[in-house]
Structure 1
Amino acid sequence: MKKQPATSESGIWLSSDLAADLGIDVRPKVKLDTASGGSVSVAGQYEYPEDGRLPVLAYNAVSEVPATGFFDACWIEIWPENPALDELLTFPIRSNGTISPDETPKIQQLNASEGTAFDGSQRLERIPSWFFLVASVVSGALIGFALIWTRRLQLASTLHAGVHKISLSVQMTTETAIFALPAAALSLGLGLLVAMLDNPGSPWPAYFSGSGVIAAGIAAALVATAGATLSISESRLFRYFKSR
């Protein structure tokens, strides 16, 4: 409930819908006449949107009072969710032992339009992650291929000197792994940190989802490096030299 104060004086708060229907311009020192012949100051108005929440305060005038005595409802805001909350909410309840079925205390959520519980794992499973996986694979493959293609003249010269192509491919893949694996380790560490920040549940579903994307990119870079090296031909040495 978002308040929009109009004055520093005490008084009642009107819902924005009620203020609009009554044609009340909420501003400092506005007073409303009461049925008893008196008047009451308007402290401001509050927004109560129709977003699925219970309409208990959608069309009301409310006032702030000291937290003493008895009230007909107890509201609590908590995050992350705690299974012990329902039991905790029963502690302030007092009765004279003659509660009718209509007066039985009920625990309900103010806004249940998005469900009554939050399951991060299920939400994560519904997020389409194929785009990130494809982007990681394509990016890794392009980087691996570019690293070899920019050295095509050097590699063709190495083949001309008698180095076996398989050995050269293993060497280039190893060189790519030397910088790719530390980068992957750093990314995985940062990914775990991000998965743990402000996460009330287990970080592992989100972490494993992101780790798969990182691993796919690294694997694509290594495979592209090996494939690009095998595509280098000694017979094209003069062509590589002319196009350098």
Structure 2
Amino acid sequence: MLAPTTSKGAYDECWALVWPSSAEVRQLLLSTISADTVRGADTSPQFGQLNTRLGETYDGYHLFRARVTCGAPILALTAGAMLAVVAVWIRRLDFAARLHDGMRKSDLQFVQVLETAAWSLPAAILASATGCYLALSTGGTDALVVGITAVASCASMVAGAVIGGVLTTIVIREGNLFRYFKNR
């Protein structure tokens, strides 16, 4: 950002705020020096960092991988799977009765996928929209990354829910119908 001024004289300092640090900044700052100023000066231009202790190096990849939300998709996958396991296990008597009535196991699993999608997709869409809205409303430069993380976490939750539901449906057996009935 340039700040126009009405001054006609030369300045003795030029400051630049750059984050993350870039090698091209030195060349850009050199372009601000007048040729007359360099010829008349006893010393060459000096470049320095205002805060000499912090910000000399920037390892964006390491900082990105060490962020707090790094494990959010895995946590969402696990939470979705656990929620689906509980949801199916509560209905195990109903599923065993369907198998007893002659429903094929593959049909039961298909129905389970549809039922899991019916509750997990709306939740994921709402959570993704909320995450993207919050990322954009903060006005940060990393809004895209925050939005992608929110969407990835929600997609992981749906995948975990579907996988957890199908795996729990596989465990339910028609032969356990009376045991499920007795234990309810």
Do the two structures share a fold, i.e. TM-score over 0.5?
A: yes
Any stretches of 5+ residues in structure 1 without a counterpart?
Answer: 1-68
What does residue 237 of structure 1 align with? 177
Contact kept, 8 Å, 2:73 with 2:153, in 1: the verdict is yes
Q: Does 1:149 align with 2:89?
A: yes
1:151-181 residue CA offsets vs partner (Å, 9 max, x unmatched): 1111211221221121111111101101211
Query: What is the rounded CA distance, in whole Å, between the counterparts of 1:232 and 1:125 in structure 2?
Result: 40
The aligned counterpart of 1:172 is 112
Shift of 1:146: 0.6
Aligned-pair CA distance for 1:193? 3.1
User: Which position in structure 1 is the counterpart of 2:78?
Assistant: 138
**1:124 maps onto 2:72 in alignment:** no
Aligned counterpart, 1:99? 41
**Cα distance in 1, alignment partners of residues 108 and 79 from structure 2:** 23
Select the structure with the greater relative contact order (CA < 8 A; seq sep ≥ 6): 2
Q: Which of 194, 198, 217 pairs up with 2:139?
A: 198
Bigger radius of gyration, 1 or 2? 1
Q: 1:119 to 1:211 in 2, by over 3 A?
A: farther
**TM-align CA RMSD:** 3.8
The match for 1:208 is 148
The aligned counterpart of 2:3 is none
C-alpha offsets along residues 161-207 of structure 1, whole Å, 9 cap, x if unaligned?
22112111111110110121122222222333344433225x43443
8 Å contact from structure 2 (residues 21, 56) kept in 1: no
Judging by fraction of residues, say which structure has more strand. Answer: 1
Letter in 2 for 1:140: G
Provide the identity percentage: 29
- Please state if 1:110 is matched with 2:72: no
Matches of 2:107 and 2:71 in 1, distance apart? 35
Deviation of 1:105 after TM superposition, in Å, equals: 4.0
CA distance in 1, matches of 2:93, 2:118: 22
3-state SS in 2 of match to 1:109:
coil
CA distance in 2, matches of 1:116, 1:186: 41
8 A Cα contact 2:131 2:147, kept in partner = yes
Residues 123-170 of structure 1 show CA distances to partners (whole Å, capped at 9, x for unaligned) of 313437564343222211110111111111112112212211211111
Aligned-residue offset at 1:218: 1.4
Label 1:120 to 1:195 Cα distance change in 2 as closer, same or farther (>3 A): farther
Instruction: Give structure 2 stretches of 5+ with no counterpart.
Output: 1-8
* 1:9-54 CA distance string (max 9 Å, x none): xxxxxxxxxxxxxxxxxxxxxxxxxxxxxxxxxxxxxxxxxxxxxx
> What is the SS of the residue equivalent to 1:110?
coil
